[in-house]
Structure formats: C-alpha cells, structure tokens
Structure 1
Amino acid sequence: MVAAAAAHVLVFPCPVHGHITCMLPFAAGLLGAGLHVTFLHSDHNLRRAGGADAQLATAAASSSPRLRYASIPDGLPVDHPRDVARIVELLESLRTKASVAYRSLLAKLVRRDGDGGGFLPVTCVVADGIMPFAVDIAEELGVPALSFRTDSACAVLAYLSQPTLLELGELPFKDAGDDLDEPVHGVPGMESFLRRRDLPSQCRDCVDPLLQIAYGFTAHSGSARALVLNTAASMEREALAHIAPRMRDVFAIGPLHAMFPAPLGSSSLWREDDGCLAWLDGQADRSVVYVSLGSLTVITLDQFKEFLSGLVAAGYPFLWVLRPGMVGASRNAAVQEAIVEAGNDKAHVVEWAPQRQVLRHRAVGCFLTHAGWNSTVEAAVEGVPMVCWPFFTDQQVNSRFVGAVWKTGLDMKDVCDATVVERMVKEAMESDEFRASAQALAQQVRQDVADGGSSTAEFKRLVGFIEELSTAAGRTPVATIKKDF
C-alpha cells in the first residue's frame, strides 16, 4: 500500500452554500489524515467566498502545502440569481455544461505532468451525491469516486423508498385536498411516525421535476464506490442500517463540523456579522431565541409578519437572520419593523450570523430553524432545543425526527401563524423535557465524534478505504465490507 501522502482527493461539492459548508470540514479532515486535497468550487462561488483565485490559492498554500482550491464555470450567466426558485436550472447546467469543464480539469489532474506546481496526481474523487455526473466522469477517467450526501440519512432513505411508496399507492397523493396527516408505511423503520406531510416536499407534487431528479441521484449513489454521510450512528442508526444493503459501502462520519472545527477557507456566501456575539454577551443565560431559516428559504411579507408578531408576543429577545432576498425587496423595511415592534433592546437583526458560535453561546435558549441538515446537527451538538419550520426537500423529514424521534423540539411545518409561533417558542424555551432530550442527544453525538467514537472510527476507516482505492488508481475492483450500524 502506498503512503497516505500519495493519496490525492478531489472534493467537489454542489455549488450552494449548505453543501460547501458541509464538505469543507470533510476536506480539513482528509488533510489532517495526511492526504492531499483539491477543493473544487464554481467560479461564481469562489469569487463570492474568497475573492480572486490567486488570493485563495495563496491562503491555501499558507494553511497547508497539501491543499489547493480550483474552480470551473457552473455554466450559468453571471447575472443568474442561482436561487431556490431556479435550482433545477442550476442542476441541469451543472450536468450539461459544468461537466465538460470538470472532465477537462480532472483529466489534467490525473496526469503526473498535467497539473503543475509539483502536486501529486488526483487518485480519488469525493463528489456531491446530487451531481452523479461527477462520479461517472471520474470512473470513466479511471479515478475511483465516492458519493457524498450532505443531507440526513433519514432523508436519503425516504428518497430511496420512492418505488415502494408508489407500489403501495402512498404516492402520488390523489389530490390537493388529501389528508397530509395520513400515515405513510413505505419508508422502512419510520412506519410508526411518518406522515404524508413529513415526506420530502417534492412528494406533494409528483409532476415536480425535482422529485424524479432527487430519486435518480439518490439511487445512483449505489453505483459509487461508497456513500459518505455527515451523520452519527447515535442519531440515525436505523436509517443507516436500511441504506447499507443498497450501497457498496456506507460511511457515517459526522457531524463533521464537530470533528474538524478548524476553519478551512470560507464557506459563507455572505459576510458573517460577528457583532451579534457582542449583543448576545449582554443577554441573560438561555433568554434569546435564535431565528435562522437557512441559505435558501424565502418567505412572503405576510409570513414575515406572522413570525414577527409571534416572536414579539412570546416576549423573549431574539436574534434574527434575514439575509438579502429572503423577503424579496421588503428586507430593509422588514428589519426596521422587527426592531420597532420588538423594541431596540429585544431584537437584533443581521444578514448572516456565525451560527456555530451563536448556538454554543450561553444566552441562546432555542433555535427557530428551517431544519436543514447542517443546522439540525449543529443544534444537536450544542444541545439547543428547536422549533422547526421546514421549507423544502429533506427538511420535512428532519423536522419530524426532531419532534417525534429525538424529541428535542417541535415540528411547526405547514403552519405560519403568529399564535402558533408564540406558543411553540414559549414551549421550546421553557420545557425542561426538551432541554433534557437535547442535552442527552448532544452527549451521545459528542461521544460519536470523540476519540474512539463511532464517527471517528468510521472516518479512519474511510481514510484507509481511500488509500486503498488510490493504490489501485481505480483500475481494479475494490472489495468492500458492509457496515452494520
């Protein structure tokens, strides 16, 4: 077997905020294990996250001689909004246009004399699971490739279960008036608590092109050398066990941000407002509601007013992330209204926050969240109770697990009403049961990521797996061992 330093991994996240946020600490872990890493951005996001290519390359070289950043065009016009309403356009452009640039770059990086700078040739690709073309192209070029999914194992399992749901007649819903609380039995291990409303949001519209896309790239993970998930066995053991037989191998290696907390470049496409930490310093312990609906959620002005009225009625100080574009052109007016309604001393509004630092701050009592997987595991690590208002895709399943499985908070999906917001925020802030469950889950997850924990052991196994693949350079079959979770 070659030495670890001979393994050179190309890490390629889908160019959206949450996926980059998840895969940067993964890259940091690979570096810490002695591997070389090329982290592949889109040109658009590289400019937003780190400035000019030369500046990021210099920063990478100074942080580690085994790290570099590269970028390719995503195929969209410079002025394309790249927002949630046009996410299918981004995925299609990546598949049809960015894939051409990716193939060309990877072909150069696998040649010993093709990449310059004395860097070793790429010997393995870890590509975002929602970009199956990246796995296929790598294998065609003789480079072994792994699929990395940035969402939860329970969501991956729900997507994989689409054929069973169709066979049982649980999809499609017969009409818009169908009872969303009707139980769903076609997702293994979730028969006792899953409802129609808890399935990924695309399931509510079976002509939604994103549903077939999501199923397609999830099933495709079975053809990759392995599936990598940013999760812990203590959180999703049963889902992992149901996924494993359908993959060549599965690695549960998270939460990655807790395993590898040292920053590796910037993942944020907005400037984080550190001033909110000073504001939190001035608040009492567990007195603040932290509100962030993630990097893609958009809300109407009416929904904003319902959230605001409920937060004000709850009576707690709140820190609210209202990023540009989240409430359309009304953001500036919305910020002013929030501050006036709550009072200057009770509301602090920012465009973007250093979320992990916020969640571990002593002043934060609960988290009103969209239940994106990054946010869910970040709250889990810190033991913070949640109120979940999922927006789309995997967030629907995640929020059900928060409320019905882990019991670390409340699931507020499909409701945007001030009285409900007030009631649920109060309950999350005041419930000893939620806090005890959140703290117990945090303790379990911290054990998973500590030395000797399940996630740490899985990451070491993954590094060995990559080293083995790199030795063969993907040209011979690699036997895999099924993992029992």
Structure 2
Amino acid sequence: MQERAKQQEEAMASQQNQRALHAIVLPHPLQGHITPLLHLSQKLASSYNVAITFVVTQHIFSKMQITSHPLIKLVGLADNLPQDHPRQSTFADSYEAVMGLEIPTDSLLQELSSQNQLPSFIIADTFVTWAQKLALKYSIPRVAFATTNVTAFAVMSSTSKLIDLGILPLKTVNGSSKYVDQLITCFPFLPPLQPHDIPVSLRSPSVSHYRMQFVMAQFAELSKAVTVMVNSVTELEKTVLENLEHKVPTFCIGPTLRLGGENFLLQKTGMRTSLLPEQEDCLPWLDKQGSGSVLYVSFGSIANLEKAQLVELASGLGASNQPFLWVIRPGSFEGSLSDVLPVGFSERTRNRGYIVSWCPQLLVLSHRALGGFMTHCGWNSILENLCLGGVPMICWPHEAEQALNARVIVDIWKVGLKVKKEEDGIVKLEEVERVVRAVMCEEGAKELKDKAIELGKVAKRAVEEGGSSLKNIEKVLEVVSNTKASGFSSRAVLRTRYTTCSQESNDFC
C-alpha cells in the first residue's frame, strides 16, 4: 500500500510540474518555419498544459489571422529594420529580420524575469542562432527545433566534416557556375550525391560566405541545447537517426500538422497559419472534377520562376491534357499574369485548368479530386501531402534543402519523379508533359500512389495514441522538467539518459 501511495504521489507531482511548464517559442520569420511550430505549440498547450509565448516579428504578427488556444500568447516584436524592408522576399531578408529580433527578445525575457515569470524552457528554431546565448544568460534550457527532415539535418550538421574532406567548397568548372561532377559518398544513409543535390547553403563559393558560416553557427549553438526536436517521423528515417554524428539527443515529433487531430489539421478550428490571403473558390471547382484527376501545382511561399520557365511550364501543362490547379503567387513573376502566360493558354485550358494566387493547401491536398502534386519539395509540403491525400509527387526543387528532399522522395521512398533540366536550367514543355503523364495516367502511376498512401499511414500512426512521435514529445518534456528541477547545469548528464530514436523495425529506410 505504501509503495502504491508513493507512486501516486510521484505521479501527481509529475503532473503538477508538467502543468507548471511555460515555453517561449522562437520561429524563424518565414511561413515554412512558423507553421510547424504553431502546430507543435497547439499540441503542447492542449494536451500537456504547457503555456506558450510565441514570438514573431511585428511584420509577421500583423499578417497572422489565428484564433489561438487560451494558453498560447502571440507576441509581435520589432525587428529593428526599416519599415520598407522586404523581410520575406529572400533568405537574406529573413536572416536580417531574425537577427534583428535578438535585442527585443532579450528585453522581453528581462521583463518576464522582473515579474518572476521566466519561461521554463525555450523552443528555438535552429535558424535562431542567438537563442542559445539568451538561454545561458537566463539559465533556461533550450530545445532546438529543426523544420527539415532528419536527412537534411544530418547533412547540414556535417558541414565541417565536408570541409575537412575537401568536398566543400564545391569545385566549379573553370570558375563558372557549373559544378565539377563528383560523387559525394560519405553519408551511409543516402545514395551517392552530386553537388547539386546538397543544400543550397553548402554550395556557397567559399567557407567564409555568410550562408555557410550561418550553417556552421547553427550547429555550433545547437550542440549546447538539451535536446533537439525534428519535424519528422522516426519510422521513416530510422537509419538516418542511427547514423547521426552529433551528440545531442534528437527526437522525431512529427508530422506536427497532425498533432492537433483531424479538425485542427483541416483548419476547422479557426486557427489558420497562412500569411497570404487564400482563394477558397478553387474548392467548388475541385468538387466538380473526377476523383484522382487533378494535378496540383505549387512551389511554396518563396520560389520564383522566370518568364521563360513559366511559358514552358504552362505549355507543358496544356500539352498533358490533364486537369490542373496551379498556384501562381503574387510577386513570383514580373509583369501581369496575362503577359507571362502563352497567348491563348487561358482559353485553351478553360475547362480543365484553374489558376489561383494562393489557396488553402491542406484542404486541397485532402480533396478526393487530387491525383498528383508538382512541388518545390519543401519539407512542410511533403509532409502535408503524405498525411492527407498521399498522391505521387513531381519534384521541382528550388532552394534550401529541397534538392536533397527530392532525392529522398524519388530514390529512397520511391513516391515521385524529378523533372530534368536542360543545360540552361530550364525545364522544357516536353519534360513537363512527360512527368505529368507519368504520375497521373501512365503505367507506374498506381505503384507511386500506393507507396505514398503506405508512407502516409506510417506518418499518421506516429501521432496516434502510443505512437513514436507522441512518446518522443513526452521524453522531451521529461528532459525539460528534470533539467528545470535539477538545475540548468545538469543538462549534460540528462543527455546520456535518452537514445536518439526508436528501435522499432522500419521498412522504409
């Protein structure tokens, strides 16, 4: 009886400690970084009673239209940039914005400290490199959050190793922009890579370039975190997790978009994370299309296409004779839309094509009419597709780690095809027509579809009761609670208590 009473007492103490947790969340100020951290914050608040202070720039705050959980407080801080600064148009712009947030965030923590309301821990995007400095200043444990998959995380964390091996900086042909062909074979969890497969930041012309320096700074600071959360699924990347070389415990807690359940996932709760106005008139149009007949074309919130490429893409979509829903984002091209599309394109595709400036992507990807997804291979979009419709993907990477994601989709998971570019970097209309037909209606399309659905089931199970991702969230909270109770300096001891991944079997790695 005494033993049972002791166990109950310990359980109550644990619950009280968990309820007392308060996290300050620091995302990088870009759509693809804010969204997964909002999803995670919603889960922490609703299922674990963790109070959240979610910090964004005032510029982002003014664009957010969300009804948050009562335990989630959104805070907009000045980024100390001129009012007319573009902020989100390029990586460099967003980098300047996030660096400008350091001093205001420090001031916020000072204010919370004076009120005896310092957060229990910090959840900081790996891109927020100054978060670790503030964590140490205020003796708050920091949990790092990676918005990529584990594969890209592993490659990026190996930057110093790639430099030591003489692979970086990449060698070019006679000083041109073309890379010398060389197979990169130092990653046991990947097929041999070509230079154009590695993340864009690692393709910098010199080690001193700000992009490569930024990557190295990320992982130098990350090594001091108490733990790392990655928006991925243990069962999908088990082999990569087992080959991680850094020593910080790393837990897959994704896909974050499914953490809040079906209603939250499909935006029925009032919480919308898009920073751009969405055109919902595409949904009634989708309702009128045949099941599995529509190709969804979207390159995310950052990528731009030159006019020549837009013409080739439009011509290829027209030649494919497949219905399509195409997102052409404002500001992603020069001039008016009528000026960049081929003459007569709208008239020729009127009955089977629909163009929008932005759309509710989760609702589109879950629609029964969808049959394929032409994507820039942003990790959020990949997860959204797997967790919803689970349709084959046409990989058209642009920036960041997207080319590496495409290799995972095509060569490891085998749920898509990659477009082939000409020497000038253009994807011709014939190639567009070929890949569209291949994933939508030709032999092999069903196999791609079946595999995508199978992977989606694995991802969904991870966030169901007893799933690996929910178990991992609880492990992270246990690490934070123990660190809080034992003192911040004990984080090194705590690291040794946890393994980096589940030992469950996995058929996909």
TM-score, normalised by the number of residues in structure 1? 0.90
Q: Give the 3-state SS of the residue equivalent to 1:11 in structure 2.
A: strand
Q: CA deviation at 1:475?
A: 5.6
Residue 196 (structure 1) shift: 2.0
Which of these residues, 304, 307, 329, is aligned with residue 313 of structure 2? 307
Secondary structure in 2 aligned to 1:3? helix
Q: 1:161, CA displacement in angstroms?
A: 1.9
Of 334, 353, 374, which residue of structure 2 is paired with 1:368? 374
Aligned to 1:483: 499
1:457-482: CA deviation from partner (whole Å, max 9, x where unpaired): 11222222233334356364451223
- Structure 2: give runs of 5+ residues left out of the alignment: 1-13, 502-509
Rounded Cα–Cα distance in structure 2 between residues aligned with 1:316 and 1:79: 42
Which residue is 1:393 aligned to?
A: 400
User: 2: CA distance between counterparts of 1:331 and 1:82?
Assistant: 24
Q: CA deviation at 1:451?
A: 1.5
**Which residue among 160, 163, 168 is the counterpart of 2:160?**
163
Deviations 1:223-277 (A, max 9, x none): 111111000012211222222x513211100001012242574321111112111
**1:116 alignment counterpart:** none
- 2:216 pairs with 1:215: yes
Paired AA for residue 297 in structure 2: V
Q: Distance in 1 between matches of 2:24 and 2:271?
A: 16
Task: Please give the alpha-carbon distance, in whole angstroms, between the structure 2 residues aligned to 1:413 and 1:135.
Answer: 41
| Structure 2 counterpart of 1:11, from 25, 46, 54 | 25
SS for the counterpart of 2:403 is helix
Given residue 456 of structure 1, which amino acid in structure 2 is its aligned partner? L
Q: How many residues align?
A: 465
Aligned counterparts of 2:384 and 2:461: Cα–Cα separation in 1: 15
Candidates 269, 276, 283, aligned match of 1:270:
276
Partner of residue 453, structure 2: 439
Larger mean Cα displacement after TM superposition, 350-359 or 459-468: 459-468
> Residue 312 of structure 1 contacts residue 341 of structure 1 at CA under 8 Å; is this kept in 2?
no
Cα distance in 2, alignment partners of residues 452 and 445 from structure 1: 13
Deviation of residue 332 (structure 1)?
5.5
Does residue 236 of structure 2 align to residue 235 of structure 1? yes
Identify if the C-alpha distance between structure 1 residues 3 and 194 changes in structure 2 by more than 3 Å, giving closer, same or farther.
Answer: same
Amino acid in the other structure paired with 1:471: A
Alpha-carbon spacing, 1:366–1:223, altered in 2? closer, same or farther (3 Å)? same
Whole-angstrom distance in 1 between the partners of 2:170 and 2:361: 37
Match of 2:412 among 401, 405, 418: 405
- Which residue pairs with 2:56 in the alignment? 41
Which of structures 1 and 2 has the bigger CA Rg? Answer: 2
Structure 1 distance, partners of 2:335, 2:109, is: 41
1:117 counterpart residue number: none
Of 114, 122, 126, the match for 1:125: 122
Q: Secondary structure of 1:450's match? A: coil
Do the aligned partners of residues 339 and 280 (structure 1) sit closer, same or farther apart at CA in structure 2, a change above 3 Å counting?
farther
> What is the match of residue 138 of structure 1?
135
Deviation at 1:133, TM superposition (A): 0.1
Letter in 2 for 1:461: K
Paired residues of 1:388 and 1:413 also in contact (CA < 8 A): no
User: Could you tell me how far 1:93 is from its partner in structure 2?
Assistant: 4.5
1:182 offset after TM fit, Å? Answer: 3.4
1:13-61 superposed Cα distances (whole Å, 9 cap, x missing partner): 01111111111100011102111111111100000123xxxxx7xx44x
Partner of 2:95: 91
- The amino acid of 2:120's aligned partner reads T
Deviation at 1:412, TM superposition (A): 2.1
Deviation by residue 1:334-368 (Cα, 9 ceiling, x = unmatched): 47968615422211111111111111111010000
1:482 counterpart letter in structure 2 = Y
Other-structure match for 2:506: none
- Give the match for residue 256 of structure 2: 256
Q: TM-score with structure 2 length normalisation?
A: 0.86
Given the alignment of the two structures, is residue 289 of structure 1 paired with residue 289 of structure 2, yes or no?
A: no
Cα–Cα, structure 1 residues 400 and 108, in superposed 2: closer, same or farther, change >3 Å? same
Q: Residues 44 and 78 of structure 1 are in contact (CA less than 8 Å); yes or no, is this contact kept in structure 2?
A: no
1:198 aligns with 2:197: yes
The one-letter code sitting in structure 1 at the alignment partner of 2:201 is Q
Secondary structure of the structure 1 residue equivalent to 2:119: coil
Query: How far, CA to CA, are the matches of 1:161 and 1:71 in structure 2?
Result: 34
Sequence identity, in percent? Answer: 29
Between the aligned partners of 2:324 and 2:42, the Cα distance in structure 1 is: 33
Q: 1:109 to 1:328 in 2, by over 3 A?
A: farther
Alignment partners' CA distance in 1, 2:93 and 2:38: 24
* Deviations, residues 115-170 of structure 1 (Å, cap 9, x unaligned): xxxxx541111011111101221221111111111111111111122223233332
Report the 3-state secondary structure (helix = DSSP H, G, I; strand = E; otherwise coil) of the residue aligned with 2:162: helix
- For the 8 Å contact 1:130–1:218, the answer to whether it is kept is no
What amino acid is the match of 2:60? Answer: N
Native 8 Å contact 1:14 1:20 kept in 2: yes
